[in-house]
Amino acid sequence: MQLKTSQRISRVWRSQSPTSKVGLATIVVTSLFVMPLTRDIVASASPTASHTASGLHVLAINGARYGVHAPIHVLTFNGSQYSLAIDLANHEIDGGLETPSSMCRSTVGCVAAVNGDFYDVTRKGKADPGDEVGGIIQNCVLLHTPEISHQQVDLAGLQVNTGLNWSVGVNVNGVTVPITAVNQELPMRYSNVNLHLAGTLLFTSAYALRLPVAVGRVTYEFIVVNGTTSPTTTFPTTIPTTTIPTPTSTTSTTIVSPTAISPTTINTTVQLELVGQTTNAVRVHAGHVDISAPTGSSFASLQVGGTVAMTTNSSAGCNNIGGHPILLEDGAVVPISSADTYMAQRYARTVIGWMGSGETVIMIVGGIDDKSGATGNQLDRLLRSLHVVTALDLDGGDSTALYVNGRIYYHAGRAERPVSTGLLVVRNH
C-alpha cells in the first residue's frame, strides 16, 4: 500500500499499540481447510517428496471460518535451509520502485519474494517515488532511519519491536555531534505537509537522490580513510577483520579496512576526512559520507584534510525492516488501537511471522481496499490457527504479492505492483 497523504499517516501510525498483552487461545491448524499444493516448488519429479526435502511449502487455505473469504496463501520454511533477506528497489535507498519478483530474479539463490515495508509516493513526474517509511538495517549496515514512529522486525532474531534502536555520533574536535537521520528524505513529501528541514542529516552512497538543501545549511563532504577501528571486540562475522596485538596489553584492537566495511556498519567507528563543502544539491559519491548541518555547527570548525570519527550503534540486529502494526509477540496478541482504521477495515495483507519452533511463516491475504480481505483481528485469528507466536503486518493493499520459484501465486492489483522494499527467501549456502 502506498502512502499518499498526511491523513493516511495519522490514520495508520499516530496511535501506538499498547504494550499490554492478552492471553493466547491456541487454535489447531486443522481448523483451516488446507488445499492441495498446487506447484512443485523445487521442480522435482515427486511434488510431495520435493516439498518435504526442500523444507519450503506453499499452502492455499480457506479462512471462511474467520470471516475471510479472499484467497489466502501461506509460505513456510525452515531457517536451517533458507534465510530472509531485505532487498531495495534498484538496490538503493529512495531508488524508485521494483516488483518483488524482479528483486528475486536478480538475486542469487532467491526462491521466493513478497512486498516489504510501507512507502511514500510523490507527485507524478518526480524522481523519488519510493521513499521508505521505516528503518532498514541490511547485512549489518544501517541504511535508513524511520521517517515516523514505526514498528520494526529483526529478521534474524525473530523479534518485533515498537521502534528501531540506533544512534550515530560524529566526534568533531572532541565534541560529539548526534546525527538526526540517516539516508532519509526529510520531510516526507506528503500532501499538505510542509516541515522545515532540520537536524544533522547523514547520507551515504546508498542514497539515490540529490541531497536536500535549504537556506542556512551546509553539506560537508567526507571520504572514508585508513585506520578504521571497531569500538568493541564484538564484530559482525561477515566482515573480514585483522586483529593486531597491543604491545603493552593482553587485549587487542580490531582494525578494519575501509574497503571491507560500509561507513554505517552497526557497532563500528570509522574515520572520515573532510574533502569539501557545498550548499548545492549533490549526489553522494562512492566511498563518501555527506553530512548536511546547520550553518555554524561544529563541522564549520573543520578545514579540508581534517578528520572526524563517526560511530554507529544499534542492538536491532543485522537485518531489520519496518511494518505496522505488531500482531503477535511471544505468543500473545498485541491489542490494536481502535483509532487505527486501517487495521479495522478489510484490506489485502502481507504478514511475516514465526512459529514457536522457529519456522518462518509468510502469509498473504487477497482483497480490495476497504471492500474485501482481512481486518487486524481476523489476521490474529488466522495466525494463531497456524501456531504463529510472533508476527508483524507489512505493507498491504495493492502492494500485496507472493512470488515463488518463477510463479506469481497472488498479486492484489491488476498487475504485480512495483514497491520500495521486498523480503526475499534465499537458499543458505
Q: Which residues contact 130 (CB under 8 A, 6 or more apart)?
A: 89, 94, 95, 96, 97, 119, 120, 121, 419, 420
The pLDDT score that the predictor gives to residue 325 is 96
234 shares its domain with 332: no
128 shares its domain with 102: yes
Instruction: Count CA within 13 A, CB hemisphere, residue 34.
Output: 13
* Cα 60 from Cα 364, distance rounded (Å): 10
Closest CA to 154 of 165, 143, 168: 165
Domain assignment present for residue 369? The answer is yes
**Domain termination residue (choose one: 294, 313, 332):** 313
Domain assignment present for residue 143? The answer is no
* Cα 193 from Cα 206, distance rounded (Å): 26
pLDDT digits (tens, 9 = 90+) for 225-253: 964 544 443 333 333 332 223 233 332 22
Domain assignment present for residue 178? The answer is yes
73 shares its domain with 103: yes
The pLDDT score that the predictor gives to residue 76 is 96
**CA 388 to each of CA 129, 220, 351, 360: distance values in angstroms, whole numbers, following the listed order:** 34, 47, 11, 9
**Domain termination residue (choose one: 313, 343, 375):** 313
Specify the residue for cell string 586483529: 243
- Residue 176, H or E segment: strand 175-178
Domain assignment present for residue 265? The answer is yes
- Residue 129, H or E segment: none
171 shares its domain with 305: yes
The pLDDT score that the predictor gives to residue 391 is 98
Q: Which residues contact 28 (CB under 8 A, 6 or more apart)?
A: 385
271 shares its domain with 332: no
Domain assignment present for residue 141? The answer is no
Residue ranges of the chain with per-residue pLDDT less than 50: 4-53, 189-193, 227, 229-259
Instruction: Count CA within 13 A, CB hemisphere, residue 198.
Output: 3
Specify the residue for cell string 585506520: 227
357 shares its domain with 409: yes
330 shares its domain with 287: no
Domain assignment present for residue 142? The answer is no
Check the CA dihedral 384-386-387-389 and report its sign: negative
Domain assignment present for residue 10? The answer is yes
285 shares its domain with 412: no
Domain assignment present for residue 139? The answer is no
330 shares its domain with 406: yes
* Cα 286 from Cα 165, distance rounded (Å): 27
The pLDDT score that the predictor gives to residue 163 is 95
Closest CA to 122 of 391, 420, 366: 420
The pLDDT score that the predictor gives to residue 239 is 34
The pLDDT score that the predictor gives to residue 299 is 97
The pLDDT score that the predictor gives to residue 2 is 55
25 shares its domain with 152: yes
272 shares its domain with 289: yes
303 shares its domain with 335: no
Across 192-319, where does the E strand assignment appear? 201-204, 217-224, 242-245, 252-255, 268-278, 288-294, 307-313
Total domain count for the chain?
A: 2
Closest CA to 378 of 336, 411, 412, 322: 336
**Domain termination residue (choose one: 313, 339, 361):** 313
What is the extent of the structural domain holding 85?
Answer: 2-134+148-160+318-427
